[in-house]
Structure 1
Amino acid sequence: MPESTRSLRIPSFILLVILVGSTLFSIWFYHLVTTPVELPVIPCEFSIESGSSLHNIARQLTDADMLPNAWSFILIAYMTGYNASLKAGEYALTQNLSPLDLLEYLTQGKVRQYAVTFLEGWTFSQFRKALDEHPAIRHESSEFSDTKLLQLIGANEPGIEGIFFPDTYFFTKNSSDLTILKRAYHAMQHHLEIEWVSRQKSLPLKNRYDGLILASIIEKETGKDDERTRIAGVFANRLRYSMKLQTDPTVIYGMGDKFNGNLRKADLLTDHAYNTYTRLGLPPTPIAMPGLASIRAAFNPAVTNEFYFVARGDGTSHFSSTLEEHNRAVLKYQKNRP
């Protein structure tokens, strides 16, 4: 056999070995990176610190039994171009993932979300307490004065009460409380702008802030959706006719810590900026955070001839057009007389 023929057969054999070997390796590697790894616990929580290298992340996940090995994770990260795209944050896995799926998951930045809820009718002190007590929030503003906070969130209102929209806000761990404050403030501004544009004609309010103040009173007066616009209508009528609003929640708010749960006649006669029994018009600021239903009611009250309402004691109110009718209702529902 010619020497040249034998020399050609050797490379062909080697090529075949390489081809078979690479095919087997590809199958094995594909199986390695696409087979889900059983998590040690579900949910499986872990954190990736900002600035962590790919090698450190792979080692961290391997040590936590979330990867079969570090090298295959590193290799596929470079093969897919994801090696520089892993995002820092706190994660919580709720199902088994393959190394490939885990890599894609980390590049999408689906970090664990925390939530803080601010309830309708809360005062700013309650709002502030919820922020300060949340363990996942970075507290940067808890020692700031109200004036400083208004400046930092870009607010032009004269006070901090009532200017934040009550809702549930989601955030990642170590988010600043200032960021949440800004989001809640801008959410309130957004809703006020929409409702102001579509407000009722001849509404006895000078601006959106007046509407916010009125909405906060409505929020504290009732929790019943079907009464909000009617209560708003009563207050709108009283404002139009220069009648005192005479609403207990403003008096209670103005009393602050002096209020012991029992509102006395003497309290209604003691003059202060929030006493709507002694002063005409709206109080100087909101008294709580109103929800969207109360805001909408303030800007679009029911058109009625009613000027009075009194609580029945069952969560509903009795509405009256005349003082005589109102006095009878007070005797019936507040003083337990027929």
Structure 2
Amino acid sequence: KVSTMFLSRQVFLALCIVTSSSSLCITRALHRRARTACVSMSSTTNDLILEVIHRKKYEVQQLEQKHSAPNDPVKLRLGYVAEQSSFRVTRALRKYKLGDERPMTVLADLKRTSPTSRALPRTVSGFNDAGRRTEELMNFGVTATMVNTDELGWGGSMDDLSSVVSKVKAMEKLPGKTGEMANMTAVVMKDLIIDPIQIAVALESGAHGVVLLANVVGQALEELMEAATCMGTEAIVEVHTPNEARNAVDLGASIIMVNNWDRATGTWHPDQALAVRGQIPDHIVTIATGGLASSDQARRLADVGYDCVALGRALAVHPQPSRLVRNIRAHRAPPSIPGWNGPRDD
């Protein structure tokens, strides 16, 4: 069972490559299915999240018009299959082999504002230059950066993504850094992705991966994951509930991020990531996020099997963020046992 799930996305990519002559039709089908499968969230959903979702549909229409020319790079990326993936996100987030002691990594959630809950201040961080802020965080020891590109909800833009990508490329060229940087860091676009064209735009902008929000895209998750695989990139699938985690595993997700925040209701469940981890087998890279603010929390998460913690507000408000990151990364969790980490059939 584990080996089948582990290979599912690799097998799918191989099938995409074998059928590359018809890949344009495949991608167009995924494009249509993902759009129609996106579900409306419940009536209890955070109003601002709903507003962002509705606006995102309009933004997708604008992207389609902007990139409609047959030779447009985004259009071409949507139509043809990548023959390989760098797996750079995986390498940035997991710094050990199965059977070794497990050092935890830190993923920076770069955002100026957050619509998650009315109980929290809307403003998260006041940085102006996303690239410069990323350089600062990487010097703290952060191994990857999620760049929020939605303006209405998170105060971001595609310019932020371009700035971060440019900064990372510049840092890679520093003396003695080229090989090390290529294996230690990654840039991930985080947005409300509801259509494959957004993934194509992210990759054309230099992102190494994207985030898919399971409770936002609903039944479209599988199609969006397939689109990401066909384009040769990695998708971090964000989940909140055990059911969402199991579904992501069944669909072949290779990276799963468990959020303590319920985006639908704006409520915080501080032990949610701890409770959900057992649903995810060890070969999948795991990230915990949502209201994490201390190295003690991170160590507890590492000891139940998490590879990484994603920090947003904590990196902005902690009095010593560099020390926070350093303490998290210094912890070594016991080796994981290859195989299924959650409930067994027997």
TM-score (norm 2): 0.23
Larger Rg: 1
TM-score (norm 1): 0.24
Q: Which has the higher contact order (CA 8 A, sep 6+)?
A: 2
